[in-house]
Amino acid sequence: MATIDIKNLRKVFGDAGEQIVAVDDFDLTIEDGEFLVFVGPSGCGKTTTLRCVAGLEDVTEGSIEFDGTDVTDQRARERDVAMVFQNYALYPHMTVRKNIGFPLRLSTKQSTAEIDAKVDEVTEMLGIQQLLDQKPKELSGGQQQRVALGRAIIRDPELFLMDEPLSNLDAKLRSTMRTELQELQQDLGVTTAYVTHDQTEAMAMGDRIAILNEGKLQQVGTAEEVYRSPTNEFVAGFIGSPSINLFTADVDGDTLTGPGGFTFTLEDTALLSDKDRVRVGVRPEDLRLSSGGSMPSVVTVVEQMGNENFLYAEMGGVDLTARIESGIKPEEGTRVAFAFDEEDLYLFDSQTGEAIK
Ligand code: ATP
């Protein structure tokens, strides 16, 4: 187990002609035994960060420490790290037993009997002991993923690095495997950094979530922290499903006015003192239908989810989503209005996107 310190990490690809800054100004500590999830849109630098921690990429600037020891110049195989990838990377010609035992055969002087005993222990933990003599192509996606996990676990590393390990699985299996992986990580207590582009997966799995955008770390926190107190508009928009409603409003004293006749009077006006315009955010579950509400809108679609409905509407050219009770199904074209409470309102600086409230 280990505490991982990523200090001022910068990774630039390419030569002087065309440079891509994949990761920049990145500071993060992954606590001993923590399950930390990196999440962000495609190309934001998740995989590159993970590969720098693994030692698979040279860093351009900054350093990486494992338990206070600088490992920046160590090669991948000198770091006590096990990686699990999306494509499993199993050896097709080897049986499950051979695949899982492979890292030990490579790196230790243990006898075949000792390695076999460890393989038995790990496969039992993963519920795949009946597959030991099969080859990867005879296995389902979920089984292959368990074998890949087994190969990581058997090394008993200081750190697990996982890059979208569940993304090749169907939705149901992915959800089962999420829980299994979390339980396994808790039992083993091994520090884990996990990459996904799926914010739902990140929220479900991570002790903490690190949200990246364009190579920069935006926020690190628990699911509740990043959901309830996003540091900026990007985080607010990325976390939450369906996404938060966002639009621009003008500030006049204690009143916000915006598209389609939006009007909202704030009790707490100190936050707005030096602003002419703000970005306003309200989450779909915080909207309720209320005649005379501050958001006059026209219904576009109602999506029935069974236990609730998603109501899509338009307010002066801004698309809105509201989560409402399943019994309420206004027809397309109906004029409605939404209300919300001030405590559920998010405000962002219209220039920088930084959170004001
Ligand atoms: P995805 O979810 O699509 O895998 P990601 O968040 O993991 O994306 P990275 O793979 O880390 O993103 O890529 C970050 C940026 O660095 C991208 O612009 C990508 O094109 C670039 N990049 C990554 N690897 C290389 C490389 N070997 N050479 C040049 N550019 C690269």
Predicted confidence (pLDDT) per residue in 271-284, tens digit? 787 789 999 999 99
Query: Measured in angstroms, how far is the CA atom of residue 47 from the centroid of ligand 1?
Result: 7
Is ipTM over 0.95?
yes
Query: pLDDT confidence of 151, banded at 50, 70, 90?
Result: very high
CA of 234 to the centre of ligand 1 (A): 19
Instruction: Decide if pLDDT at 357 tops 90.
Output: no
pLDDT score recorded for residue 245: 98
pLDDT in tens, 50-69: 999 999 999 999 999 999 99
Give residue 107's pLDDT: 75
Check if 13 has its Cβ closer than 6 Å to any atom of ligand 1: yes
Q: Pick from 11, 15, 20, 201 the residue to mutate for probing ligand 1's pocket: most ligand atoms within 8 Å of its CB.
A: 20
pLDDT at 141: 85
What is the pLDDT, as a whole number, of residue 180? 86
Residue carrying the six token digits 């350093």: 63
pLDDT mean over 167-185: 86
pTM score, two decimals? Answer: 0.92
Instruction: Please identify, by atom number, the ligand 1 atom nearest to the C-alpha of residue 51.
Output: 11
- Band of pLDDT at residue 167, cut at 50, 70 and 90: confident
Ligand 1 midpoint to CA 20 (Å): 9
Quick check: 234 and 213 in contact, CB under 8 A? yes
- Give the largest Cα separation in the chain, rounded: 77
Please check the confidence at residue 349 and state whether its pLDDT lies above 90.
yes
pLDDT of residue 171: 85
Cα-to-centroid distance, 228 and ligand 1 (Å): 29
When pLDDT is averaged across residues 26-39 and rounded to a whole number, the result is 97
Closest CA to 235 of 211, 217, 206, 214: 211
Strand 295-304 relative to strand 159-163: parallel, antiparallel, unpaired?
unpaired
Going edge to edge, which strands form the sheet with 20-30?
A: 20-30, 4-13, 61-66, 69-70
Dihedral angle, C-alpha 238, 27, 64, 193, nearest 10 ° = -30
Q: Does the beta carbon of 20 sit less than 6 angstroms from any atom of ligand 1?
A: yes
The CA distance from 322 to 304, in Å, is: 12
Q: Above pLDDT 90, what percent of the chain?
A: 76
3-state class (DSSP) for residue 72: coil
pLDDT for 35 = 97
State which H helix or E strand residue 221 sits in.
strand 216-221
Which ranges of 189-220 does DSSP label H, i.e. alpha helix? 199-205
The whole-angstrom separation of Cα 188 and Cα 28 is 23
pLDDT tens, position by position, 249-269:
999 989 999 999 999 999 887
Running DSSP on this structure, what letter comes out for residue 73? T
Topology (CATH) of 245-349: OB fold (Dihydrolipoamide Acetyltransferase, E2P) (2.40.50)
Whether 270 shows a pLDDT value over 80: the answer reads no
Note the pLDDT of residue 327.
86
To test the pocket of ligand 1, the residue of 47, 162, 238 to mutate (highest count of ligand atoms within 8 Å of its CB) is 47
Residue 1 has pLDDT above 80, yes or no: no
Task: Say how many Å lie between the CA of residue 137 and the centre of ligand 1.
Answer: 29
Q: Omega of the bond prior to 41 within 30 degrees of 0, cis?
A: no
pLDDT-based confidence at residue 294 (cuts at 50, 70, 90) = very high
Give me the chain's average pLDDT, please: 93
Residue 17: predicted pLDDT: 81
Average pLDDT over residues 230-248: 97
Measured by CA distance, the residue closest to atom 18 of ligand 1 is 43
pLDDT value, residue 168:
79
What was the pLDDT predicted at 260?
Answer: 95
> Across residues 172-180, what is the average pLDDT?
86
Q: What does the alpha-carbon distance between residue 169 and residue 305 come to, in Å, rounded to a whole number?
A: 23
Within the chain, which residue ranges are assigned CATH 3.40.50.300? Answer: 4-238
22 ligand 1 Cβ < 6 A: yes
Neighbours of 176 (CB within 10 A): 12
Among protein residues, the one with the nearest Cα to ligand 1's atom 30 is 13
Q: Determine the distance separating the centroid of ligand 1 and the alpha carbon of 42, expressed in angstroms.
A: 8
Give the residue range(s) of CATH 2.40.50.140 domains in the chain: 245-349
Q: What is the pLDDT of residue 30?
A: 98
pLDDT given for residue 274 in this prediction: 78
Q: Per CATH, which fold does 4-238 belong to?
A: Rossmann fold (3.40.50)
